[in-house]
Structure 1
Amino acid sequence: MAKDQIEPVGNWPHPSYIQVAKPYIFEQDVQRCFVALETSEAKEDNIRLQGVSWIDTVRKALQLPVKTFNTAAVYYHKFRLVHKDTEYIWVVRALLEVLPCRNKIADGTKDAAAAALFLACKTEDTLKKSREILCAAYNIKASLVDQLSPDDAIFEQPSRTVIGLERLMLESAGFDFRNTHPQALAVKLVKACGLDRDTVGNTAFYMTIDAHRTFAPVKQTSQTIAIACVELAARMCEVDLSTVVGPSGIDLQKWSINREQVMGQSFCHIKCLRELANATLETLLDLLDLYTHHRGATTVGPNFTIESFISTRITLNKEASAANFPRYTEWHERKTALNGANGSKISPASPASDPKSSHTVSPNSPSVMGPTSATGAKSRVGERGKDGTVRFMVDPQRAREEKATVEKYFAPDEFEEYEEERWVPIRK
């Protein structure tokens, strides 16, 4: 080997990829996933509502607690932000080929919902077999004569397919099992505010369930969802808001937020709480969008008229416009990634290509990774780990420390070139 030839870095073992789980994302990240998945907003809303409604219906048939529904809805949202519907449609095709009553089986939106509910049962320690979930979904629309048992042989192949889809569900969520539930806090807030349990309490409780039909659980904390549902329930029931909003209302400092954050003001005194600004207002408007456009697909929507939801939304919009509050939390437009075209400076197109990110990326990986979830997961089935091992971490600080330790071993060697003139005698 010549002295000036550099030893290739590939002789070292691959450092692997680190994927850090992110339990919450912003609305702009959700919109970018829609663009990458090439799906329209109307189609996405339709599929999302059908999937969550299927989870809720099967959950009630199996008599599972509401915490299992919450977790399943979060897994379902994260999965669909990464994978196209055409990438896992083979699950439904297997169901349709095996089961006799095709019109009684769910369409292409229920395969991911079944896997999400199956994974949520394991996470929340309410164990149910995949056979039991598929059987319950089948028996919901079947007559008493046509109902089957979970041990029936026709559920064998579909259950294996759902189990195989569970791996993709875990990877989309980044193996993050940190799940919170706003229902208990909403009930306590209603009691602390002295509101009626039968009217405001029940409305706020079911609003927390309807909130999981939106992307609020992947954007906001359970405290924010609970406070927003209690406030919206009080407005819809036309009770005195002084016990909910204002100096004598809910103590927001107890939850490390203030009224500016609740109403969406984009500044706060503590820098680390900046991302919490506009959280409750965003959740309120997300719920009102759901009740305005898809009132029949919700639990609370049919209990109130469409005019009441519109009037409440107008009131909140006027209050937000007067104070110049933003619609979404921390919306920042991302600069266009030119990736070195025409001599421009290369800009990272995804967290995986960002040099400051906690991910360790191969030099041969493309600059554009395609649609990513909150954890930066790839969207194509089977592509993960083909160029190296993917490891999932929950603590981002540990990922940064490991990356800093490994980087010095995989950094290319630095050489300095210089010219030197020498007189060499010519042999005769």
Structure 2
Amino acid sequence: MAPPLTKPSAPATNGQASDDDPNKLGPPSGLSSIRTQYTSEQRLQQQLKSISYDVAREDSYRIKGIQLIDNVREALQLPVKTFDSAAVYYHKFRMRFPSSEYNYEDVALACLFTACKAEDTIKKSRDILCTAHNLRTPHDQRTPDDARFNDPSRFTIGLERHILETIGFDFRVQYPQKLLIKMVREIYPPSNPEKRDEGRKFLRIAYDMSIDLHKTFAPLKQTTFTLVLAIIELTARLMTDVSLDPIKMLQQNAAAYVDRHCVIETMLDLMDLYTQFTKSTKVGGCFEVQRLMSVKIDINDMVTAGSYQRYHGWCDKCSAELGDAPTATPGSATSPATTGSASVKRKRDEAAGGGTLRFVFDAEAARKERDLVSEYQVDEYEEYEVEVEEAIPEPETRPPGRNNHHSQRGHYNDWSYHRNNRHSGHHNDRHRGRRGHGGY
């Protein structure tokens, strides 16, 4: 017989196992979550369907939340990078929790408060809440030290911790404005007096478009180069007095860094925003609706000519397997538009098994840790065969001259005979004994 396997002993932890136990185990390692910086449109829609995302209502709240962040940011004179970070945090949070659980205004202000810390532009929660209140009600101006901001301030701080867990402590955000200014200067050199004014006019439209871009999910899907090239090309197509030749030259130089399909997808995301929510954008109101529709048709013709799909990397088979998820009920008396968020609900993955939820960014280090922990957490068994000698039982001995069939019949005959004797005095006929007994 092979000797049983012994597992390597783990270090003692919190007194959960004695020192004499050779197979002692440490605490559960929990769940390690590896965050990715980008996502695809198909995966994004799958996450939205899993939370019963109502398109008509949630899209409106998404744009209102980003607009609130931008208004408060301008009132507090915060840099645009803080706005970019807050918008990305807001989208990531809304991908997991719909407005039926959290008021979009509370989430927007908490995301701006978190972004202020991440971008080192510190602002107190009271300052942000007071500014939002003054913008909402100009006739009722307050100061940050007002007592009415005590409870909202504590709630914002609690929601900040929830936002950090939702984004996985991943503070990587796209900042397209800095690269956008450099590329516009490349197209319109400031040293040329003739192109200086054209460059300022072009940059004014393109910069506002970079703000409108964060009202879509494009910053979650594309790289900085892709976002900037899409903004520059779409701005040139909307402005009738701009030549596309320098734009095409710029795209050829950046072809090694971007995919043309992704640039077209970003432009279509912006055109969907401008045609559906024209009044809620900075650039949409600067052009006529006919001009916007004409540019959108031209971009759709580019998709058809290049045999592209609407979204890059879309899988029709995966979309068919997903099916249709139930949508949320439209807003009612308990809608977050009229009521605030009641409490912060902490949602953890059940796969953690009661352990700690940790966020890691190095996939190789996570794999090494998993292999190391598996030596103590995984039960291993060895199968082997053992030969054992068993005694064969002797056959039962029977009386000579009689077989089993006759013995059983005789047994039953004896049982009937005794029963007949009990009911009547006749020994050979059971039915006649019953008639004599008076049974019938």
Q: 1:68 — aligned with what?
A: 82
> What are the superposed Cα offsets for residues 384-420 of structure 1, whole Å, 9 maximum, x if unpaired?
5671111111222222222233223322212315353
Out of 216, 219, 227, the residue aligned to residue 218 of structure 2 is: 216
Q: 2:202 — aligned with what?
A: 200
Q: Return the alpha-carbon distance in structure 2 between the equivalents of residues 169 and 192 of structure 1.
A: 38
Gaps of 5+ in 2: 8-22, 189-194, 323-343, 394-440
Instruction: Check the 8 A contact 1:79/1:172 in 2, yes or no.
Output: yes
Q: TM-score, normalised by structure 1?
A: 0.75
Determine which structure has more spread, i.e. the larger CA radius of gyration: 2
Q: 1:287 — aligned with what?
A: 270
> What are the superposed Cα offsets for residues 81-124 of structure 1, whole Å, 9 maximum, x if unpaired?
01232333xxxxxxxxxxxxxxxxxxx32011011000000011
Q: Equivalent residue of 1:244, what SS?
A: helix
Q: Return the alpha-carbon distance in structure 2 between the equivalents of residues 79 and 154 of structure 1.
A: 26
Pairing of 1:34-73 with structure 2 (within 5 A): 34-73=48-87
Instruction: Check the 8 A contact 2:58/2:98 in 1, yes or no.
Output: no
Q: Return the alpha-carbon distance in structure 1 between the equivalents of residues 300 and 129 of structure 2.
A: 43
Instruction: Check the 8 A contact 1:193/1:250 in 2, yes or no.
Output: no
Q: 1:371 — aligned with what?
A: none
* Paired residue type of 1:422: E
Instruction: Check the 8 A contact 2:5/2:382 in 1, yes or no.
Output: no
Displacement of 1:10 after TM fit?
9.5
Q: 1:404 — aligned with what?
A: 371
Out of 318, 343, 348, the residue aligned to residue 301 of structure 2 is: 318
* Paired residue type of 1:50: K
> What are the superposed Cα offsets for residues 55-76 of structure 1, whole Å, 9 maximum, x if unpaired?
1111111111111111000000
Q: 2:110 — aligned with what?
A: 115
Instruction: Check the 8 A contact 1:174/1:392 in 2, yes or no.
Output: yes
Percent of residue pairs bearing the same amino acid type: 39
> What are the superposed Cα offsets for residues 213-271 of structure 1, whole Å, 9 maximum, x if unpaired?
000111111221111001100111121101001xx3345447623xxx22x1xxxxxxx
Instruction: Check the 8 A contact 1:18/1:399 in 2, yes or no.
Output: yes
Instruction: Check the 8 A contact 1:199/1:237 in 2, yes or no.
Output: no
Displacement of 1:320 after TM fit?
1.3
Q: 1:127 — aligned with what?
A: 122
Displacement of 1:13 after TM fit?
2.0
Q: Return the alpha-carbon distance in structure 2 between the equivalents of residues 222 and 335 of structure 1.
A: 28
Say if 2:31 is the partner of 1:17.
yes
Displacement of 1:335 after TM fit?
8.3
Q: Return the alpha-carbon distance in structure 2 between the equivalents of residues 380 and 76 of structure 1.
A: 17
Q: TM-score, normalised by structure 2?
A: 0.73
Instruction: Check the 8 A contact 2:174/2:219 in 1, yes or no.
Output: no
Residue 17 and residue 312 in structure 1: after superposition, are their counterparts in 2 closer, same or farther (change >3 A)?
A: same
Displacement of 1:129 after TM fit?
0.6
Q: Return the alpha-carbon distance in structure 1 between the equivalents of residues 231 and 321 of structure 2.
A: 39
Instruction: Check the 8 A contact 1:87/1:381 in 2, yes or no.
Output: no
Displacement of 1:424 after TM fit?
6.3
Q: Return the alpha-carbon distance in structure 2 between the equivalents of residues 335 and 225 of structure 1.
A: 26
Gaps of 5+ in 1: 89-107, 265-278, 339-378
Displacement of 1:172 after TM fit?
1.4
Residue 201 and residue 4 in structure 1: after superposition, are their counterparts in 2 closer, same or farther (change >3 A)?
A: same
Pairing of 1:157-172 with structure 2 (within 5 A): 157-172=151-166
RMSD: 2.8
Out of 359, 362, 366, the residue aligned to residue 395 of structure 1 is: 362
Q: Return the alpha-carbon distance in structure 2 between the equivalents of residues 36 and 295 of structure 1.
A: 29
Q: Equivalent residue of 1:383, what SS?
A: coil
Q: 2:179 — aligned with what?
A: 185
Displacement of 1:425 after TM fit?
11
Q: Equivalent residue of 1:391, what SS?
A: strand
Q: 2:318 — aligned with what?
A: 334
Instruction: Check the 8 A contact 2:58/2:99 in 1, yes or no.
Output: no
Q: Equivalent residue of 1:87, what SS?
A: coil
Q: Return the alpha-carbon distance in structure 2 between the equivalents of residues 38 and 65 of structure 1.
A: 35
Instruction: Check the 8 A contact 2:82/2:119 in 1, yes or no.
Output: yes
* Paired residue type of 1:75: Y
Instruction: Check the 8 A contact 1:189/1:250 in 2, yes or no.
Output: no
Of 114-123 and 414-423, deviating more is 414-423
Residue 61 and residue 337 in structure 1: after superposition, are their counterparts in 2 closer, same or farther (change >3 A)?
A: same
* Paired residue type of 1:177: F
Q: 1:78 — aligned with what?
A: 92
Residue 29 and residue 422 in structure 1: after superposition, are their counterparts in 2 closer, same or farther (change >3 A)?
A: same
Residue 335 and residue 114 in structure 1: after superposition, are their counterparts in 2 closer, same or farther (change >3 A)?
A: closer
Instruction: Check the 8 A contact 2:82/2:115 in 1, yes or no.
Output: yes
Pairing of 1:297-376 with structure 2 (within 5 A): 297-332=280-315, 333-334=317-318
> What are the superposed Cα offsets for residues 314-364 of structure 1, whole Å, 9 maximum, x if unpaired?
1111121012012112123438989xxxxxxxxxxxxxxxxxxxxxxxxxx
Q: 1:154 — aligned with what?
A: 148
Of 403-412 and 166-175, deviating more is 403-412
> What are the superposed Cα offsets for residues 28-58 of structure 1, whole Å, 9 maximum, x if unpaired?
1110111101122212211100110111111
Q: Return the alpha-carbon distance in structure 2 between the equivalents of residues 412 and 187 of structure 1.
A: 58
Residue 398 and residue 254 in structure 1: after superposition, are their counterparts in 2 closer, same or farther (change >3 A)?
A: farther
